[in-house]
Amino acid sequence: MEDNKSRRGRPSRELVYQRLEEGIGELRGRMGGLPSPVEAEDIWTSIWYQEAHHSTALEGNTLVIAQVEALLAEGRAVGNKELREYMGVTGYANAAKWVYGQALEPGGWTSEAPLTITEVRYVHELAIGPVWGVAPHPNATAEEKPGSFRRHEIQPFPGGMVPPSWGEVSAAMTDWVDSLVTITADANPIEALAAAHAAFERTHPFLDGNGRTGRLLLNLLLVRLGYPPAIIYTRDRNRYLRALRRADSGDPGPLGELVARSVTDNLYRFVVPAVAGPHRLVPIVALATRTQSVFTLRAAIERGRLKAQKGADGQWRSTRAWVDEYVESKYRRQR
């Protein structure tokens, strides 16, 4: 029987959810919630680069992260890729930036529901519009432009699941949006969001771009509930697709765990380091850098060279000040 560890030595699903809620609770207690994109531009920009790269790469885009950063930061198309690849990243990045801003400062888009049909269409239009302009879907009719629901039937998914007929899409999407109202009161909102994400993908409301749009809408809902966005990394593509199929069969647990791990990773990788003071104890994953990896920091702790404390949850915690002190002493020894 499993308690705090899974059979592979990883934390159990329940502990993953617990760690996430504890981290979010601490963030809300100290800052009142996520910092806005205006207050913490660096945090959101780092997440923006990663999300635009990985979410488009899941769909076959071949730009590497350095090319994505050059494109988004400087407007430079580095490399010799097809125009549609650059436009695919640009469109997704435009939509993600809108999602981040609207989630925290919704302005005129407010509604009693966490999301509206208008927003669903608009996110798709932002994400898919640029690439559609240079490489539209070959079977699209004039009525299936970005932001418009499909008027084609979709082939069955691997595993046999059949999306609804195109004539049923509008009603299905209205029901989907209405169902989101219950998520805020759910005992496990992350798993409820995972189930909602899978339901959107099952409906496949658009002729193309459903995966990208679905992940953008998932992040819009996450941030509106006070969580950092999720990034499904390309290394997790097969696991993500398997989890979606499990959710199609009525078990959203694996997908919920994948989303929770991603949100927790972004919380401690991007948000916590930016808002925690230099003497605040935080998990060492929040203190890792390109030159001082988690593995390096853990090894330094085990050798007694980095001050740290081990919590009841088994995680090592240190401070930025202690890491700086360790790095300085390391360089002194090397001189």
Q: For the residues of 278-318, what is the DSSP string, one character each?
A: TT--EEGGGT--SSS-HHHHHHHHHTT-S--EE-TTS-EEE
Number of domains forming the structure of the chain: 2
Whether residue 2 is predicted with pLDDT greater than 60 in this model: the reply is: no
Q: Which range is most confident: 34-38, 225-229, 285-289?
A: 225-229
User: Which strands make up the sheet holding 282-283, listed edge to edge?
Assistant: 282-283, 316-318, 309-310
pLDDT band for position 290 (50/70/90)?
confident
Question: In angstroms, what CA-CA distances link 5 with 14, 27, 147, 313?
Answer: 10, 25, 44, 11
- Same-domain pairing of 134 and 208: yes
What is the pLDDT, as a whole number, of residue 318?
Answer: 87
- Same-domain pairing of 72 and 23: yes
Cβ contacts of 210 within 8 Å, gap of 6 or more: 200, 201, 204
Q: What is the pLDDT of residues 292-316, one digit of tens each?
A: 888 899 999 999 999 998 876 677 8
Q: Which of 275, 302, 323 is the last residue of a domain?
A: 275
Residue 86: inside a domain, yes or no? yes
Q: What is the pLDDT of residues 242-282, one digit of tens each?
A: 999 999 999 999 999 999 999 998 888 878 776 667 777 77
Look at 278 and 319; give whichever has higher pLDDT. 319
Distance between CA atoms of residues 237 and 131, nearest Å: 22
What is the pLDDT, as a whole number, of residue 3?
Answer: 44
Residue 7: inside a domain, yes or no? no
- Same-domain pairing of 245 and 266: yes
Cβ contacts of 79 within 8 Å, gap of 6 or more: 63, 67
- Output the domain CATH number for residue 142: 1.10.3290.10
Q: What is the pLDDT of residues 215-245, one digit of tens each?
A: 999 999 999 888 999 999 999 999 999 999 9
Whether residue 103 is predicted with pLDDT greater than 90 in this model: the reply is: no
- Same-domain pairing of 27 and 86: yes
Report the pLDDT averaged over residues 98-126: 81
Percent of the chain with pLDDT over 70: 90
The residue segments making up the domain with residue 245 are 13-275
What is the pLDDT, as a whole number, of residue 330?
Answer: 80
- Same-domain pairing of 230 and 295: no
Q: What is the pLDDT of residues 159-201, one digit of tens each?
A: 778 899 999 999 999 999 999 988 876 778 999 999 999 999 9
What is the pLDDT, as a whole number, of residue 1?
Answer: 34
Residue 44: inside a domain, yes or no? yes
What is the pLDDT, as a whole number, of residue 319?
Answer: 85
Whether residue 40 is predicted with pLDDT greater than 80 in this model: the reply is: no
Q: Which of 256, 275, 294 is the last residue of a domain?
A: 275
- Same-domain pairing of 329 and 209: no
Look at 297 and 111; give whichever has higher pLDDT. 297
Distance between CA atoms of residues 45 and 81, nearest Å: 24
